[in-house]
Structure 1
Amino acid sequence: MKEIPPTPESFAVIDAATDRLLDGLARLDDGDIAAPSRLPGWTRGHVLSHLARQAPALERLLQWARTGVETAQYPDRRARDAEIEAGAGGPAAALVTDVRTSAAHFRRTIEELPEPAWRATVRPFTGELCTPCRILVIRVRELVLHHVDLDIGYDVADIPAPARQIVLDDVLGYYAEAEGMPDLTLRDPEGALLARFGTGGPVVSGTPADLLGWLAGRSTGTGLDGTAPLPALPPWL
């Protein structure tokens, strides 16, 4: 379960991912927003509504860490989905403003979180117990992968190395504990070991970007080499 410390370097990764996303959104109009995203059943508006509403949801976990009073990220999945749906059909300008404003508020919240709160234990919607340091990983992951999901000319290969490595480590950590994970070995193009699951099994090699795209369900495995056909992976998020 990946966590990163609340350092200027970590905050800079979030800032860079946010800036790249907002730069990409600047040219979208209402027709673009209503078009399908890469996520089945979601328009680009759904993706942006989710990103905008996810920031205050993560802040609720930070409030839990700061006060010690349990505060859920979302009441339940139905409430989360309804919140996303409510904003998905809005005009482009409103959605982009919501993404920008909520991102800025989240950034101030992590900057101002007291040092002791970073050691507190909270439970995100996904169920794991963690410190707020994991919230930083979640935010990086959501910013960069949903930027890809918008299908506006930004792909996994465009994710800067620091953010890509954070998300790749997070995905690998998930699969290390996932039920039904097949025996598998992952290597980089030079043959260096990246991860081994179970007894090792077939070897799949590729660049970090190509591996992340496949592991995170954003590609079918384009660019990867394997000693056997790519196996089916357990569901991720």
Structure 2
Amino acid sequence: MSGMKPTVEIEGCRAAHAELDRRLAGLTEKTIRRISALPDWTVAHTLAHIARNADSVVRRLRGVIDDQVMDQYVGGQAGRVAEIESSAGQPVAELLADVRASSAAVEEIIGIVPDDAWDRLSRSVSGDLTPAHRVVYSRWREVEVHHVDLGLGYTPADWPVALVERWLPELVQGLAGRADHAALLAWMIGRGPTPDLGPWG
């Protein structure tokens, strides 16, 4: 990937945005106030997160274009939480317009990142420095996963093969750092319950 435009990830983002937009049609105020698949978050909170994550992608890629390392969220984790809470309170029409506009902004800025800038770094909310091509990959994953969390009929079976085939090996490789090793081994060979793996990212 080094020095190369992340074409697969860009197309994945665009397709994920389009599929999400299609399923947002007809959502009501009642629907967005129900609980999503995420603990303590309504559908509105999840949509707000998708929108504010898009803003963070734009912020990071704007920094890449300007050759500056930018933080993912203004104010870090606390700023992220505050942005989501504020956005989740919008009426349904405004929230859906927000999601669509922020996703469109991601696609717009992706189109103007210079081809030689995809290895430039930005800072994630966890503090990690990641290259621009990973920012686009992360956005693709975020939209696909949280689309499922919305509970609108989109399921893991709908995830693109290209995403699954890339992401699954990465997660499997990282399993050893997410659980007690003996418990993990017992589970993988059918000799124990599913261990607590903690958050994926």
Comparing 54-63 and 29-38, the one that deviates more: 54-63
1:226 to 171, 190, 199: 190
Distance 1:3 1:32, change over 3 A: farther
Q: Retained in 2: the 8 A contact 1:37–1:150?
A: yes
SS of residue paired to 2:121:
coil
Aligned length: 200
Report what 2:200 is aligned to. Answer: 236
User: Structure 2: where are the runs of 5+ without partners?
Assistant: none
In 2, Cα distance between equivalents of 1:92 and 1:4? 41
Report what 2:142 is aligned to. Answer: 142
- 1:70 to partner: Cα distance: 2.9
1:79 maps onto 2:66 in alignment:
no
1:53 maps onto 2:52 in alignment:
yes
Report what 2:160 is aligned to. Answer: 160
Q: Retained in 1: the 8 A contact 2:32–2:92?
A: yes
In 2, Cα distance between equivalents of 1:11 and 1:132? 11
More helix by share: 2
In 2, Cα distance between equivalents of 1:43 and 1:3? 39
TM-score for both structures, normalised by structure 2: 0.87
> AA paired with 2:196?
A
The higher-RCO structure (CA 8 Å, 6+ apart) is 2
Comparing 120-129 and 95-104, the one that deviates more: 120-129
> Residues 39-71 of structure 1, C-alpha deviation per residue, up to 9 Å, x if partnerless?
111110001111111111112111222222232
Report what 1:175 is aligned to. Answer: 175
Comparing 39-48 and 5-14, the one that deviates more: 5-14
SS of residue paired to 2:123:
coil
> Residues 195-236 of structure 1, C-alpha deviation per residue, up to 9 Å, x if partnerless?
xxxxxx3363xxxxxxxxxxxxxxxxxxxx834322222333
1:202 to 156, 175, 186: 186
User: Structure 1: where are the runs of 5+ without partners?
Assistant: 186-200, 205-224
In 1, Cα distance between equivalents of 2:169 and 2:180? 16
In 1, Cα distance between equivalents of 2:194 and 2:178? 18
Distance 1:139 1:166, change over 3 A: farther
In 2, Cα distance between equivalents of 1:167 and 1:149? 18
> AA paired with 2:21?
L
Report what 1:115 is aligned to. Answer: 115
Equivalent runs, 1:185-196 vs 2, <5 Å: none
> Residues 13-39 of structure 1, C-alpha deviation per residue, up to 9 Å, x if partnerless?
111111111111112111101111011
TM-score for both structures, normalised by structure 1: 0.75
> AA paired with 1:135?
V
Q: Retained in 2: the 8 A contact 1:35–1:43?
A: yes
> AA paired with 1:76?
G
> AA paired with 2:147?
H
- 1:79 to partner: Cα distance: 1.2
SS of residue paired to 1:230:
coil
- 1:107 to partner: Cα distance: 0.6
How much is the aligned-residue C-alpha RMSD, in angstroms?
A: 2.5
> AA paired with 1:110?
I
Q: Retained in 1: the 8 A contact 2:64–2:121?
A: yes
- 1:103 to partner: Cα distance: 0.7
- 1:181 to partner: Cα distance: 4.8
Distance 1:31 1:54, change over 3 A: same
- 1:170 to partner: Cα distance: 4.3
